[in-house]
Structure formats: structure tokens, C-alpha cells
A and B are shown apart, each in its own frame.
Chain A
Amino acid sequence: MRLVILDTSKSVGEWAAKYVMKRINDFKPGPERHFVLGLPTGSTPLGMYKQLIEFHKQGKLSFQYVKTFNMDEYVGLPRNHEESYHYYMWNNFFKHIDIEPENVHILDGNASNLVEECNRFERQIKEAGGVELFIGGIGPDGHIAFNEPGSSLVSRTRVKTLAQDTLEANARFFNNDIQKVPKQALTVGVGTVLDAQEVLILITGAQKSFALYKAIEEGVNHMWTVSAFQQHANTLMICDEDATLELRVKTVKYFKGILRDVHELGIPDGYTN
């Protein structure tokens, strides 16, 4: 695992966007060779999306041959609801770039058969040749996508009932009315993300620092599902200083030391897991 520690959350977004651009462009995608990207929602990746849009406007990056798979979606929430991930992705990303609509995949939380919808999603990922780069964020309880504490670390895309903590945390997006918060979500499994060639995890803010500590300094544990990525061959975590507050000095110094060039020069390559 690699951990890149940057000064601010803003630089996390910019760094991640640069990295994603480099990965896509180096891949040289074409009509017969799509770059497959897994995408998150939430406040953490917003800065990355903004910067990717900027790169697109500058002509440095095209999404014409990019396929995307989103991590999750609420069950039963109208798609035009401001908290639906369809709404989020359209307004914060897709409407600003040149991606082909047929290359975009978001789980349909209003599907009549939710299990079939999840299975279909897994099939589509497979048909696309697997995910080349899966980008994720994490919750304060260490969940990745909606893989709440206690989720199987080999889980696949499925219906998931949300933890009470998550419902309470999300109530602020639903007029502070917990009754309005969807109780279930469709989510890719931990195993689904682990199958990706590379995983990029963004962590910002002091409120995520305990989760980051659990993710990298303690053992693999299904109560902190993001810790599963210790066993992934190619995981890159990008965090800001605030998110390191619960880490040991030794850990921080180790990652800053081996990634000195990355930190000081902003060069995103030249280091390994």
C-alpha cells in the first residue's frame, strides 16, 4: 500500500485528478480499448471531479473511451432527488464532460428486481474487462462504498441495509428527518473493488483520521472494511494532514520518507507498493 500525505483537502482533489488523468492518458484508450473507471460520490471526491472537468475543458483529457461504474446508489430514492447518486454524478461530473451515455453505469435503486440489478452490474463490469482504476472514499466508520462495518470482505454487488450510524449521519441531507433517509442501498462489494487493477482511496479531514488509522495500522478486519485493501496488490491512499491525526509519527514519517519525491515534486510515479 502507498499513502500520499498532502497538506490540504484541496490538494488531495487536485493530486487525485492529476493521477487519474495520467492513468487514463498513459492507457491510450480507443474504440476497442476502453479505460474502465470505478467512481465514488460524496463530498471528498468533489474537488477531484472539478479538477478533472477543468482538465477536460483545457483539452488535456477526454472521456470518450472511458467506461464508468459507480460504487453505489440508494434504494427507492427518486433519481431526480438531490441526494440520489444519479443526480450527483450528472450535476457534478457527467454533464460537464464528453463521456458517452452508454458507457456510464450506475446501479438502479428503483429497479423492480434489486438482486437481478446487482448481478447485472457485476456482469457488466466483467464484460467491460474489469475495472482498471477504482476510486473510493471512506466513511468515519471505515466503510468503503456502502460496505458497512461487518460486511464480508469478499462480498459482491448486493442490497445492503444501512447501519443506524449511517442513517443518522445522512439525515442532514434529508431535512434532518431520519424517516426520509433511505434504509437500503445497492453497493458494490468489497470483493468487487478488490478485483480492480488499482484502487485509489481519498481520505480527508480529522473526522476520518481514526478510520485511516484502523485502515492501515491495525489488522484486516471486517468491522473496518477499508482495511481489506492491505491485501490488494496495488492500492494508493491519498490523504491530507488532518486525516493523519490518529496515525503514529512513525507511520507518517515512513510514508513521507519513501514518497519524498512524490510529496515535494508532485511526481505521481516512481514508487511501488
Chain B
Amino acid sequence: MSGKPNPPACNCDDLIQFTNCRLVRNHQLIEDDLWVRAGKIINPEPIFFDERSKAHRRVDCGGAIIAPGYIDLQINGGYGVDFSFDKDTTEAGIRKVAQGLVKSGVTSFCPTLVTSPNENYHTILPRIPKRVEGGAGVLGVHVEGPFINPQKKGAHPENCIQTLENGIETLCATYGSLDGIKIITLAPEKVKDLSVIRQLVKAGITVALGHSMANLSEGEQAAQHGATLITHLFNAMLPFHHRDPGLVGLLASDAIPAGQTVYFGIIADGVHTHPAALRIAYRTHPQGLILVTDAISALGLEDGIHHIGQLPLEVKRGKAFVAGTDTLCGSIAPMDECVRIFRNATNCSTVYAIEAATLHPALCLRIEAQKGTLDFDSDADFILLDDKLHVLSTYIAGICVHRA
């Protein structure tokens, strides 16, 4: 019995049965087979009783865990590509990152653009491909800015920061079009009229709060208008204070509309969020926790000096520094590593750690019928993991795109 499944057949309509595995299903690990056909996870029972047919091929998974593919809602680039900077090679850049990400078990992602001049949005956004052969799928773009608070700008260029003066009109002028945008990170205090949030939500866009000086009350008002996500919790926001807990306080707010969940991205790279802070977030509001990499262009690069964008950076010991210094310049931990770090830091269950990178982001984007679970009729985007949560192989639409 080998841990390595056979190569996929070329005929996508074949019925494939993955056996000798444990599935992440219904919030637990269950011993069952996974049946896949035509890019979807399927219920084998009607196949048996109605179609009267059996699997064309069985894949022995050697006891591996099968989990839904990871979903990364915030990633700025990788493999030397910076989505915001490399605006002339957008298609090639997305392709390169999408094909690289599958190694870390990511099967879909939101390429993230930091605050940029309007013309960059106009250039880049229409050119982001949705589908990449052999690579992770693009769920839509996460535009982090430019309607953020300059006092919490982080690495965003201050001269491009704007105020959201005039609702959808300003948004369209800034981004060119809302097509292809899946998440907008904004600072609620920089929005003149919060009712624009409801309009965005209606258009299928998730509104995230971040890079903000907002107090809790401002955060709650934004949530009441439909904002459902907090961007990289703890980073680029007011630190938690017991008399005004700020955006962090949304995790325990009693002013969130019934039935609405506050989701929050959190960077579990072992550097950007202290393990104790991970535990606080996890224990306070487990159902809202979403692991994001927030990775920069140096993700996936070898140790050494790299010239990316304007500033040379150095990768050593799995961290990225401004070259020649000890100044960290962004996260480069791949998603599978974040899941492992998070599980170790919080001592949560294996299933929960996986769901924080699969089910939770899918629920947040309201795409859980297609992504983020192994439920019947979902897209067959899944990964095989060993018990230490190392990725053994990655499948997209039922096709193996990576094998360790």
C-alpha cells in the first residue's frame, strides 16, 4: 500500500473512488470513501442503485486524511510575483502563483492588491484570470484599500489612500469596475455613508474591516450594515483596550445582527501574531476564525537575496527580511504551515485547524455549496494530508495537480 495515489485518468467523466482514507466531513474525521466524477464530489448511493455502475478506478490513499482544499482570502503574491507591483504581467503572475500554491494545499485564493493608484486597478483588475490550468482557482480579487486609515497604513503607500466619499460612484471610479472583486478591505471611519456596504454585499462582495482606527461602536455599525470580515486581526488596527476594545472587540460583540457571523482573518505564520494572541482569538470566537497567509512575493522562494519590486529582500530561515537587516518585511509562511502552526499553538483539533482554512473562508464568502467542504455536489478540490498535516497531494476539480 503506497501513500501515493495513482496518476489521474484523462477521462474526467470516470467515476473515481478514493479509499483507505479519513474524510473531514460534518466537523469530524470519518472513515469513508470519497467519490469523484466530472470535477464534483458525488453521492455514490444513487450511482449504485440508479446507474447500476461501480467506480472506474479506485485510488488507495494509504490511510491519509482527505480534506477540502485550502482557501486563502489574502495573499499579495509569491514565487517572486507581487500582484500589486507587477502590473504588466498580471496574467503570467497569477498563473505562476496559482500553480505554486497547490504545493501548500491551496486550491482557491483571492489575489490581494494593496492600496494602489486608480490606474493600477484599472490595468490589473480586468486582467486577472479566473482559471489557471493546473493551478489554484481565483475566487475574485481582494482589494485591500485604498479606503483605509493613513494612521494604520502598514506597508501601503500613503499617497494613494482615499476617503470613500460618494458610495458606489467613488468605488467604480477607483476600481474601474466591481467585476472580479470579491473582498474589499476598508476602514469604516473613512466611509462617508455606510449604506454602501449593504450595496456591496448585495453585489456578492464581502466587506472586510481593517487598516483602521475604528472603535468598537464604529465596527459594530459597519457590521450592522453588512460587513462580515475583519482583515488580519490584531494587525493594522487599534490594540485591544478594555474600555474601548476596538475592532478586536467585534469578536465578543453583542450588537451583531442575529444570524450574522463575524469572521476574521488571522496570520498564523508564527511571527505576525503571537501564539497567545492566536489562542485568545480561537477561544473567544472559534467559529469566525479564518487562516490567511497574507503572503508577499517571497513566498516559495529559496533562501538568499531577491530583487522584487523596489526593495531587495532576503529570505533566511523561512522568514523574509529587508536585505541586510533584521527587519521583517512580510509573511512568507505557506498555508499548510500556517495550519500546522495554528494547531500547535492552540491545541485545537485537527479538523478545526483544517476548517479554519476551508469551511470558514467558504462560509464567509458564501460559497460553501461549492468550496470548503467535501459535501456531495461540491467542487472536487481536495488535498491528501498525513497526520502531521503535511500535504501529500492536491486535487482540483478531481484532477491531481500536485504530489509531494
- Please give, as numbers and ranges, the residues of chain A lying within 8 Å of B54 by CB-CB distance: 100-101
Q: Is B44 an interface residue (CB 8 A)?
A: yes
Contacts of B33 in A (CB 8 A): 95
Query: What residues of chain B lie closer than 8 Å to A104, measured between beta carbons?
Result: 48-49
B326 within 8 Å of A (CB atoms): no
Asked whether any CB of chain A lies closer than 8 Å to the CB of B53, the reply is yes
Residues in chain B near residue A101, CB distance under 8 A:
47-49, 51-54
Q: Within the complex, what minimum Cβ distance (angstroms) separates A105 from chain B? A: 10
* B133 interface residue (CB < 8 Å to A): no
The answer for the CA separation of A79 and B53 in the assembled complex, in Å, is 18
Whether B254 sits at the interface, judged by CB under 8 Å, is no
In the complex, whether A87 has a CB less than 8 A from a CB of chain B is: yes
Interface string of B45-85 (1 = CB under 8 A from A): 11111011110000000000000000000000000000000
**Chain B residues within 8 Å of A106, by CB:** 49
Whether A95 pairs with B49 at a CB distance below 8 angstroms is no
Main SS class of interface, B? helix
In the complex the two chains form, what is the Cα distance from A164 to B49 in whole Å?
Answer: 31
CB <8 Å contact, A86 and B44: no
**B48 & A87 in contact (Cβ 8 Å cutoff):** no
How many chain B residues touch A (CB < 8 A): the figure is 12
Q: Determine the chain A residues whose CB is within 8 A of the CB of B48 once the complex forms.
A: 90, 94-95, 101, 104
**Least distance between A96 CB and chain B CB atoms (Å):** 9
Interface residues in A, total, Cβ within 8 A? 13
Which residues of A sit under 8 angstroms from B47, Cβ to Cβ?
101
Which chain B residues in 152-171 approach chain A with CB under 8 Å? Answer: none
Least Cβ–Cβ distance between B261 and chain A, in angstroms? 28
Question: How far is A20 from B66 in the complex, measured between Cα atoms in Å?
Answer: 34
Q: Give chain A residues whose Cβ lies under 8 Å from the Cβ of B53.
A: 101
- Please judge, given known A-B contacts A100-B54, A101-B54, whether A79 and B44 are in contact too, CB under 8 Å: no
Alpha-carbon distance between A214 and B195 when the two chains are bound, in angstroms: 75
CB B323 to nearest CB in A, in angstroms, measures: 57
Residues of chain B with a CB closer than 8 A to A79's CB: 45-46, 49
How many angstroms between the C-alpha atoms of A95 and B19 in the bound complex?
Answer: 11
Q: Within 8 Å of chain B (Cβ to Cβ): is A102?
A: yes
Chain A, interface SS category: helix
Shortest distance from the beta carbon of A63 to any chain B beta carbon, whole Å: 12
Option from B44, B45, B51 in Cβ contact (under 8 Å) with A87: B45
- Quote the shortest CB–CB distance from A39 to chain B (angstroms): 14
In the assembled complex, how far is the CB of residue B46 from the closest CB belonging to chain A, in whole angstroms?
A: 8
Chain B residues with CB under 8 Å of A90's CB are 44-45, 48-49
List of A residues within 8 angstroms of B45 by Cβ: 79-80, 86-87, 90-91, 95
Q: How far is the CA of A170 from the CA of B43 in the complex (A)?
A: 27
Chain A CB count within 10 A is highest, among B33, B49, B54, for B49
Among residues of A, the one whose C-beta sits closest to the C-beta of B17 is: A95
Cα-based distance from A102 to B51 in the complex (angstroms): 9
| Chain B residues near A100 (CB-CB < 8 A) | 54
* CA–CA, A106 and B54, complex, Å: 17
A254 to B84, CA, bound (A): 88
Distance, CA A104 to CA B43, complexed state (A): 18
Chain B residues with CB below 8 A from A80, complex form: 43, 45
A54 to B51, CA, bound (A): 27
A80–B377 Cα distance when bound, in Å, is 15
Which residues in chain A, 225-263, are within 8 Å of chain B measured between CB atoms? none
CA distance A46 to B196 in the complex (A): 58
The minimal Cβ–Cβ distance linking B381 to chain A, given in whole angstroms, is 23
* Closest A residue to B33 using CB positions: A95
Which of B44, B46, B51, B52 is close to A95, meaning CB atoms less than 8 Å apart?
B44
**Interface 0/1 of B172-207, CB less than 8 Å to A:** 000000000000000000000000000000000000
Write the nearest CB–CB distance from A80 to chain B, whole angstroms: 7
> From residue A218, how far is it (CB to closest CB) to chain B in Å?
40
Tell me the complex Cα distance, A91–B45, Å. 8
Q: Do A86 and B49 touch across chains, with their CB atoms under 8 A apart? A: yes
Q: CB-nearest residue of chain B relative to A94?
A: B48
Give me the interface of A with B, judged by CB distance under 8 Å: 79-80, 86-87, 90-91, 94-95, 100-102, 104, 106
B-to-A contact residues, CB < 8 Å: 33, 43-49, 51-54
A79-B46, A79-B49, A104-B48 provided; 13 other pairs, C-beta below 8 A? Answer: A79-B45, A80-B43, A86-B49, A90-B44, A90-B45, A94-B48, A95-B44, A95-B48, A101-B47, A101-B51, A101-B52, A101-B53, A102-B52
- 5 A-B pairs with CB atoms under 8 Å apart are A90-B49, A94-B48, A95-B48, A101-B47, A102-B52
